[in-house]
Structure 1
Amino acid sequence: MTMSPKRTDRRVSARVRILLWLLLVMAVALAAVAVATRSILLRDVDHRINQLLTQETGEFANFVSQGVDPATGRPFTDPDALLRVFLQRQYSDPEEELLGLVGPPGQGLRVVRQSRDIPSGIALHRDRPSLDAIAASGASSGRLERARGEVRWAKVPIRNGGAGPGAAFVVAFHADSERAVADEAFRALLAISGVALLMTTGIGWAVAGRILAPVRVVRATAAELTERDLTQRIPVQGRDDIAALAETFNAMLDRLEQAFAGQRQFVDDAGHELRTPITIVRGHLELMGEDPAEQRETVRLVTDELDRMSRIVEDLLLLAKAERPDFVRTEPVQLAELTADVFVKARALGERDWVLDPVADRAAVLDPQRITQAMVQLAQNAVQHTVAGQRIAIGSRAVEDRIELYVADGGPGVQEQDADIIFERFRRGTARRGARTGGAGLGLSIVRAIAEGHRGGRVELRPTEGGGATFVLVLTLQESP
C-alpha cells in the first residue's frame, strides 16, 4: 500500500500578493517612463540633426549663388575653388563633417575637406564605399548604417554647365555620440528604477504589514474561537475599511455569542425543567400496581405531567423563535379594536371582576397576534394571582411618542426585590408563589420577548392603585408602511 505524499500549503499571503502587484505596476510604470524618455531624447537628436543639415546646405546654396572667387573677383567657375573657399570659412560642430566631392564615383572621386579630426569610429572622408554611395545617390539626403557608426548626410550638387567634372557639397553628421547620450540617460533611468524598486520593496512590505495587521488579528481571533469561548474581540482603530471589517467581524461574533448563549440556555432550561416531570412519570410508572383504581390515578398523574412537559416545550420553542427576525410581523392595527378583542378573550380565563378601561382610539403599527398573546398571558398571570371577584382591568392609551397596553390586577402585588427577576426564565416572585398553578415560570419571559421583538418595545411593572400589580407593554409609535 502506497501512501500519497502530504500536500503542502502553497498559499501566498495577501501581504506578498499586494507587494508583488505593487512591484509589477511600478516596474511597468518605470520601464514605460525610461522608454518614453529615451524616445523623446532620440527624437530631439533627429530633429537637431535635421535642422543642422538643412542649415548647412542652405548656407552653401546661398554661397554658390552669391559668392565671389577671391582670385578673380568674379563668380566661381571652378568647383574645387568654390568648395575650398567655403570650407575654409566654416566652423563645424565636433560631430559634423563638411566635404566636397569632385569627379565620378569610384577611383576618380576626389575629396575636399576641412583639416580636423572627427570623433567617430571612422571618418567619412576615409570611408570610400560610403563616399561612393553618397556620390552615386540621386537623393538629397539619407542615412548610412555602418558597422563603425551611423552617419546622417545631405548633399547639394554643384552645377557647372558640363564644363568640368561633376561635384557636390556634402554635410555629414556622426550621430553616435548624440545617441550615446540618450542611451546613457536610458541606462541611468533603469538604474534609478532598480533602486526605486528595491526601496519600494522594503517600504511596501512594511506598509502592507501595517495595513494588514488587523486582518491577521481577525484570522488569529477566528482561530481561537470555540463554541465555549466566543469572548474574543478585535480592537478597532481608525475609520478606514480595515476598521469597518473589524467592526463587522465583532458584530458577527456578538451575534454568534448570543446565538450560542441562547442555544445553551435553551438546553439548560429544557433539561432543568423537564427533569422533574420525567422523574415523576418514571416514579409513578415504576410503583404502579395491579389495582385498577391505582392504575387510573397513575395514568391521570402521568398525563398531567406530560401535558405540563408539552407546555414547557412549547414555551421554550417560542422563546427560541424570539431570536429570529420574523418573530414579529407588524401591520397597521386599530388599538381600540385590539384592546376590546383581548378583553373578550381574557374574560373566559376565570371568574373575576373584569373591567375594560379607556382605550386608545388610534392606529399603531405592531404584530396583533403577538400582542394579543402577550396580553392574554398577562391576564392569565393576573387570574393566577387573584381570587374570584377581584378586579382585573385591561386598557390601552397613547402617551406622546408611544402606546401602552396594560393589565392591572388587585392581587398581592410584587415585592420590590422581585421586580427584576420575575421576567427571567423559571423565576417567580416570592410574594406570589403561593398562587402558583403549575406554571414553569416562562409566561412573563414570553411577554418580555414579544415586547422587545417590537422595535424599542419593553414591558414594565407598575403598582396598582389600591394594591396589586400592573403590567404594561410599552411600544414605540411607528409610521405605517
Structure 2
Amino acid sequence: MTVSLPRISARVRILLWLLVVMAVALGAVAVTVRSILLRDVDHRISRLLTQETGEFANFVEQGVDPDTGSRFGEPHRLLRVYLQRQYADPDEELLGLTRAAAGRAAAGPAVIRQQRDLPAGTALWRDRAALARIFDSTDSFGTLHRPRGELRWAKVPVSPLGDGPDGALVVAFHADREQDFADETFWTLLALSGIALLMTSGVGWAVAGRILAPVRVVRTTAAELTEQDLTRRIPVEGRDDIAALAETFNGMLDRLEQAFAAQRVFVDDAGHELRTPITIVRGHLELMGDDPADREETVRLVTDELDRMSRIVEDLLLLAGAERPDFVRPEPVQLAELTADVFVKARTLGDREWLLDGVADCEAHLDPQRITQAMVQLAQNAVQHTVPGQKIRIGSRRYEDRVELYVADNGPGIPPQDADVIFERFRRGTARRGARAGGAGLGLAIVKAIAEGHRGRVALSRTDGGGATFSLILETGP
C-alpha cells in the first residue's frame, strides 16, 4: 500500500531552508567566536608567563642585594627581594620556592603576591603536592588540570651561588575565569541566535507569503480556467522573477485563448459551410429515382457538392494551420524569377489579356510556394470578375525595406463598403454575389493569412481606368 506524504507548501519549504541556513550560520559564528576567545586567552597567558619569567631571568643575571650591594649569594634572598618588588596580575600567582621549602611540601620562605583574592581553595600555594611536582619537573612550562579549573604555570630554576639550597620562581595563572568568559559569550550568542531565528521566522513567513502571492494567484487562476472562460489574467507588479512568471503565464493564456478561439471559429465555419452541401447531397439522394438519366444527374450533382466540400475542408485546414510557426518557410528567392513563374501559371486560368508588368530584380526572403498560392488565388479572383479580353496585370516592385507583388484587373472594382469585409472568412462583397461568385469565400482570407505569415499585409486599391488591384506587401529580411 502506498502511503501518501502530506504536501508541504513552497512557503513552508522556503522558511525551513532559511531557518536551517541561518541556524548553521549563527551556530558557526558562535563556535568561531568561542574558539577565537579561547585562543586569545591562551595567547595572553603565554605572553604573561613568558614576560614574567623573562623579567626574573634578567633580575637573576643583573640584580644585586640592596643590603650588601653585591650579587645575591643564595636563592632564598634573591627570591624574597624579587617578589617584594612585584605586583601580580588578576588570577596570577608568583611563588618563590627553595629546596628546603619544597622538600617539606610547603611554600617555606616563598612570597606570594596577587592583585586580588582567588576563589577559596584554588590557590596553588595551598596545594603542596602540586608544588613539589612542579619544583622537581624538568619542564619550564606546563598545565595542571584540576577539578577547580585549569592552571598554567612557568618555572625559572635558580642555581645557588653559595652553600644555600636550590630555588625556583613559579609563575602560575588560573585560566578558569577567562575560559568561563568565553563560554558565557558562546551561550549568549546562542541565546541571541535563537531570538534572531524566532524573529526571522516571523519576518520570513511574511516575506515569503508576499513573494509567493503571485504564484498562488497563478495556481488559483489555473484551477479556475475553463475552455469557456480564458479571460482571467494575473496582475503584474515589479520587475523580478515572479513578475516574469506572471507575464509568461499571461502570455500562455493569450496563446491558449487564441488557440481555443481559432478552434471554435474552425468548427463554426466548418459547420456553417458544410451544412448546405450536406443538405443538398442528402436531398438529391432521397429524391433519386430509378430513371438512369435522373440517377446520372443526381450523381453529377452529388459529386460536385462533395468536391466543393473537399475544397472547403482543405481551405479551412489551411487557415487553421496559419497559426502554426511553420506555416511559412522563408528562403532566399529571386523576385523576378518568382514573378515570372506566377505569371506563366496564371495565364492558364482564363481567356484574358495577361500582361507581365514591372518586375523587381532583387532577392527576397520568402516562402515561394505560399506566395505562388496567394498570387494564383488573386489571379483567379481577377478572372472571376472580368470578362474575356479584359486586361489582368501581374508584377512586382521593390521599396527600401519591403517588396510588393500585385495583381491588377479592369473589372467592376470593389465598392468602398466591401473593402473592409472581403478578407474575412465566408464574406463576399456585394458586387461579387453573382453567377460567377462561386466558392466559399475563403480565398482572400487565405491570401491575408499568407501575407501576415510573412510579417506583411494585403492591400486593396483602385486600378487606374477602373478595376481593383490586390497587393502583397512583404518584409524583405529574414
TM over 0.5: yes
**Which residue number corresponds to residue 189 of structure 1?**
189
Give the Cα separation in 2 of the matches to 1:310 and 1:352: 28
Amino acid in structure 2 at the alignment position of 1:138: T
Question: How far does the alpha carbon of each residue in 1:281-340 deviate from its partner, in whole angstroms, 9 at most, with x for none?
Answer: 111111111111111111111101100011111111111121111111112222222112
Give the Cα separation in 2 of the matches to 1:104 and 1:350: 141
- Which residues in structure 2 correspond to 1:321-400 (within 5 Å)? 321-400=321-400
TM-score (norm 1): 0.93
- Which residues in structure 2 correspond to 1:200-219 (within 5 Å)? 200-219=200-219
Give the Cα separation in 2 of the matches to 1:298 and 1:285: 7
Structure 1 consecutive aligned stretches of length 4 or more whose deviation exceeds 4 Å: 70-73, 104-107
- Which residues in structure 2 correspond to 1:125-204 (within 5 Å)? 125-160=125-160, 163-204=163-204
The alignment partner of 2:434 has SS state of helix
Question: How far does the alpha carbon of each residue in 1:175-217 deviate from its partner, in whole angstroms, 9 at most, with x for none?
Answer: 1111122222222222222222222222222222222222222
Identity of aligned residues (%): 75
**Which residue number corresponds to residue 93 of structure 2?**
97
Correspondent of 1:52 among 44, 48, 52: 48
TM-superposed CA distance for 1:244, in Å, is: 1.6
TM-superposed CA distance for 1:442, in Å, is: 0.6
TM-superposed CA distance for 1:67, in Å, is: 3.0
1:101–1:109 Cα contact (<8 Å) kept: no
TM-superposed CA distance for 1:459, in Å, is: 0.4
- Which residues in structure 2 correspond to 1:422-461 (within 5 Å)? 422-455=422-455, 457-461=456-460
Question: How far does the alpha carbon of each residue in 1:420-450 deviate from its partner, in whole angstroms, 9 at most, with x for none?
Answer: 1111111111121114443011101110111
CA separation of 1:386 and 1:435: change in aligned 2, threshold 3 A: farther
Give the Cα separation in 2 of the matches to 1:310 and 1:120: 112
Give the Cα separation in 2 of the matches to 1:118 and 1:83: 22
Amino acid in structure 2 at the alignment position of 1:152: R
Correspondent of 1:85 among 58, 74, 81: 81
Alignment coverage as a number of residue pairs: 474
Give the Cα separation in 1 of the matches to 2:13 and 2:299: 72
TM-score (norm 2): 0.94
The alignment partner of 1:145 has SS state of strand
Amino acid in structure 2 at the alignment position of 1:452: E
Question: How far does the alpha carbon of each residue in 1:81-140 deviate from its partner, in whole angstroms, 9 at most, with x for none?
Answer: 322222222111120011122236976233023266323652111112321221221101
Give the Cα separation in 2 of the matches to 1:81 and 1:337: 124
Give the Cα separation in 1 of the matches to 2:275 and 2:5: 50
Give the Cα separation in 2 of the matches to 1:404 and 1:120: 108
Give the Cα separation in 2 of the matches to 1:191 and 1:366: 73
The reply on whether 1:113 has 2:111 as its aligned counterpart is: yes
Q: Which runs of 5+ in 1 are unaligned?
A: none
2:345–2:376 Cα contact (<8 Å) kept: yes
The reply on whether 1:401 has 2:401 as its aligned counterpart is: yes
**Bigger mean CA deviation after superposition, 355-364 or 97-106:** 97-106
Give the Cα separation in 2 of the matches to 1:436 and 1:26: 81
Question: How far does the alpha carbon of each residue in 1:2-29 deviate from its partner, in whole angstroms, 9 at most, with x for none?
Answer: xx79x65622222222222222222222
Q: Which runs of 5+ in 2 are unaligned?
A: none
Give the Cα separation in 2 of the matches to 1:95 and 1:433: 115
1:329–1:366 Cα contact (<8 Å) kept: yes
The reply on whether 1:416 has 2:406 as its aligned counterpart is: no
